[in-house]
Amino acid sequence: TGQSCIPGINTVDLQTIFEEQFVAWTLEDAIAVVGRPDVRVFCEADRVFSFGPVLAHGNKGGAQTTDEGPLADQGNGVTEFLRFSNPKAIPCEVRLVVKPKDEEAGRECPFEVEPTTLTIPAHDSQQVQVSFRPSQLGSFSAMLEASVPAGSDANTNHLEFELRGDGAVPSVSIQGPRLFGDEGGELRLGKLAVGRSHEVKMALRNDGLLPATVRVEVKKPSVHFTLACRPSVTLGRGEQRTFQVRFHPRAVGAWEADLSIRTLGNEAFEDVTIQLTGEGYSDEVSWDLTEVRRPAGPAGARSDEEPSLESEPPSPDDLQLGEVVVGSEVNINFQLTNSAAQPIRFEFPEEMPAPFGEQLRIEPRCGFVYPSSRHPMKLSFRPTEALCAEKVPLACKIATVSFDLEGEGLSPDTASEDLPFTAVEGTEKELPLHISGVADAGVVECETKEICFAPTVMFYSKVHRFTITNPSKISAPFEWRIVGKSAAVYSVTPMAASVPPEGEKEIEVRFSPVEVEDFGCELLCCQPGVAAADPALKIFLGGSALRPWCHIELVEGDYRNRRQADTPLDQKYRVVEIVSLGTNVKNTKRFYVYNPTAEAVDFMWMQEASTGGADVPGEQDTFRCLSRRGTILPGKKFEMSFEFAPESIETRESFWNFCLIGQKVVEYFLIAGTVTEPRVGTSLPCLNFGERLVESSVTEKVSLVNKEHLPFSFTIDKSSFQIEGMPEALHVSPMSGVIGPDSSIDLHVTFKPLQERAFNFNVVCNVKRKKEPIVLNVKGSGYKIHAALTVEEPAGRRSIYPGSPEPLDFGVLQVHEQRTVNLYLGNQSKKNFNFRIQVQQGNRKPRPLPDFDKPPYLAISMGIGDVRAHEEVMLELTYAPRDVHTLEGSTLQIVIPAGPVETMFQIALGGGAKRSRVDFSFLTYDFGPCFIAKDGATMAGEPLAASEDQRYEMVELVATNRDDSDCLISTTFTREPWLDVQLNAAMIEAGSSLRIPIIFSPRETCDYMQRLEFLVNDYTRMYVDIRGRGCPLRLELTSLEMQHVDFGVTIGGESVSKSVRLVNRSPRPVTFQLGDDDEELTRRSVFWSPSHPTTLRPRETCDVELRFLPTTRVAPFKVPLLARCEGGLDLKLLTVEGTCHATEMRLSEH
């Protein structure tokens, strides 16, 4: 079997081609639904794809691209993606070409298509890029042709439509006062008194096609100017923003500042610098006219949001009287201000200057103004004749004065105008007040005296127009009044207004009879404020009416002008247009026919069979007259009804005759039926969810907008995005409903991919009465997390798989021992992913890893983090037990969030920690008071010779190993001059002991304390606290007189005894033995008791007896007696002296 097939592309389903753009019947429909002009839309009526206005770029001296504001994404033009599909069973090659329509010389085509050739597989589709990059301002158009060279079917081998776009730049105009200077860059804020403020309103208006961002700033800031505006102002199309410039001089002088206004994206043409200028002045005496009502400008009162017309403040000495009617009176209050330290006197002239004269009066004419005060004045103007005055100076003489008073001082409250005074010489001057005003009698004149209307058919109107003039120099207000029995048939426009000075006004009189009668009336013109017995104008009104057989109450539209036909429509036809909002709906047009006669009238509607509209198939079903025959009673109305039920969007026409049977009167009608597509659509043409995790969901809102005055029901076609038997990846809510008139409803679109692939949906929304459905393109793709975990072991890396727990054994450690294992977490996905690490102990809830100080004594180098795509991170897992512990039942979990489902690696931990069983014979030892070593003694802990200082205390610490294995013991203590631990790192066999000497040799009289740290197997720490106190050795005689023992002179053989008492004043016992150096006392027959070693407790005494028993002559001597204490310290207790006289005989050997 086989099948022949012709290659081709889809050329009918344009919604598929423009899936990411708006598709509407006209461009106006799309703009109305979206609410902005810069939309990318395909217009079905004209087969035009419009890019709308796009920022022009690249032209020399023209607009440049911008990185700021709402147009930042248009810096390189706009690119749209179109999808071409192949519905055939074989691949096809498509060629794309853009053909410019404008062949102007030197104008490049801004449209591009890429690629120009593509091959689409069978039953597949591909996207192409169509770009619009205008390099200059203007409108551009071109034709995009897609052809299949191998295709022979004209319906599928060629697709052509027009491309349009406008190159534009943001354009903002400045609204406000007129700017001066050669380039229009100076804003003169005039002359203003110091301390006063003047504000000028200006506006920025965007009249261009694109939104614009404007930077407004003062380049040269000045304390005399203030700008009330944001630095950056964004304006939509047609939007206007007002800002204020204030001038408030703080010192006398001329001041300047620069105001910069720059449009981003169009700096070459709209970078304006406005120089603000103003002058501050200060006068001791000045007019205060702030309360004077100044006449409105030519445009009348202005809103607070409207820009100012004038930039300069009113002149401080310019008093405007405005327009005054001759014979009336106007009163103005103002003040004279004296800021000086001395009083002044003012005086106006007795005669007012021309042309005012006696018509102008000021009260008071003279008086005093005291220091730092104001004097109120009143000006009255009562004109008796017409005049025109423009800044007529009224000289006011002022002078500084002093009062000739005695006694108490003068205050403004007690002062009188008749006080004696003396003018200070040289202070007289004139302070002019410029007065402007116009006085005249505003009158209106007209050449028309009578208006007679031609015979007019009842219920119709005729209009007559005439002009009234005002020859005076002031405005002339007027009001119209119609007098007569039939005044209701006449109307005047305007009924009340004002004629400008020396100007004119057009008046329109309309005659609309509703009955046949006498229409004679008078049109009277009265002028408010003018006392006159007779009206200013009187015009006679007259006319006649004709009674028709019937009156058709029908208002014709502009269909006659819009009608597209080969021949023009005869003027005898009345046009009845029925507009249908959508198709397949009945539309009824109703109008009334009135019988103004006194007899009944029979009528009949007849359709003309000779017109082309009647021969159109289905025409009889399209139009239907619901009131074919009837009778209209006298003075009554009859309702005529036509029904239009279109099935397509083409315009239909039907010609009908309205016949009055008895009167043989025929009226000709054209019943035209037009169809407009309901302006119902989505606020976005496309939703792109991007890449999402599989089984995760995300929801976006898109509005379904109804810009019509009628409600519309809608239904979402589920089959357009849900394939039977496939998992549901898209959900839309609500699936049906009703959109109210001129309102919108939110559609919630939820994307939940269940597979790792790309998704492209065209969600179809069927709207009742709308011929074509609304299509919302939804794109997205699903991806999974592909993570890999390995453990570094001596034999290499071992893989850990998600799901079931994998073992990891740390072995048995000593307490405080530490072991680290490296884990490697890799990311083989397209996207980065996050992870967190937690531990679960038994059936407890998993929790993050605690500190080392708490079980399970685990730490990780990174508890929370992320892994970039196609990379891996190293995680250091450390086990450092602080006490006896086991890891059995602990599971390390590495959790990777992957949407609602989490990927989890589980590692079953094994191992534990034990403490070495080493016991010390003591954990605390106090040496108590110990004698300090003498200067120059050897350091504690060094081997001592027998002749060296032996003053130190020693204790042995016995360490016993009760474990079943040998252990290593060492100490971290470093030898001190007063303490030493004589231990090098040594092994203690199981069950054996080790003696550790600890030597204490104090060097000062103070308390000593030290904690000794021992390490067992380098991890287990054990502590022993050592205390002691250094004290001096104080073995002394109870009395200082005993320090010298004198036996005197004795005779040989005679015995002399002396006794002394020793006391131990030390805090600890002292063991000593009395002696002398080199037996000096023994050779001289001096003996003592006790002669053996003696121990004295603290504060214990001992008597020492000294005997001198010489047998031979002893020469005088003086020898010390010593106490030799333990530790090798000799103390000199006392000095023994004496002599013995005796005869000494010796035998000679010779």
Overall average pLDDT of the 1058-1079 stretch: 90
With cut-offs at 50, 70 and 90, classify the pLDDT of residue 13: confident
User: Which has the closest alpha carbon to 94: 33, 148, 37, 171?
Assistant: 148
State the residue for tokens 């009255």. Answer: 380
As a whole number of angstroms, the distance between CA 480 and CA 493 comes to 9
Q: Which amino acid is at 261?
A: I
Locate 494 and state its tokens: 């305007």
pLDDT at 676: 87
Terminal CA-CA length for the chain: 167
Overall average pLDDT of the 1018-1045 stretch: 89
State the residue for tokens 């073992």. Answer: 807
pLDDT at 104: 52
* Average pLDDT of the chain, as a whole number: 86
As a whole number of angstroms, the distance between CA 671 and CA 673 comes to 7
Overall average pLDDT of the 1037-1050 stretch: 89
Helix, coil or strand: residue 621:
helix
With cut-offs at 50, 70 and 90, classify the pLDDT of residue 613: very low
As a whole number of angstroms, the distance between CA 887 and CA 255 comes to 83
Helix, coil or strand: residue 561:
helix
pLDDT tens-place string over residues 506-529: 999 999 999 988 899 999 999 887
pLDDT tens-place string over residues 747-791: 999 999 988 889 999 999 999 888 888 999 999 999 888 999 999
pLDDT of 948 strictly over 80: no
As a whole number of angstroms, the distance between CA 365 and CA 378 comes to 10
pLDDT of 69 strictly over 70: no
Which DSSP state fits 454? P
State the residue for tokens 């009334």. Answer: 592
State the residue for tokens 């389903």. Answer: 13
State the residue for tokens 């004269």. Answer: 357
Overall average pLDDT of the 1016-1044 stretch: 89
pLDDT at 736: 93
User: Which has the closest alpha carbon to 476: 437, 533, 525?
Assistant: 525
With cut-offs at 50, 70 and 90, classify the pLDDT of residue 965: confident
The b-or-e profile of 322-358 (16+ CB within 10 A means b, else e) is bbbbbeeebebebbbbbebeebbbbebeeebeebbee
Overall average pLDDT of the 644-663 stretch: 90
As a whole number of angstroms, the distance between CA 217 and CA 229 comes to 8
As a whole number of angstroms, the distance between CA 923 and CA 553 comes to 121
- Please report which residue ranges of 592-656 form alpha helices under DSSP H: 619-622
Bridging pattern class, strands 92-100 and 111-114: unpaired
pLDDT at 302: 46
Sign of CA dihedral 513, 515, 521, 526: negative
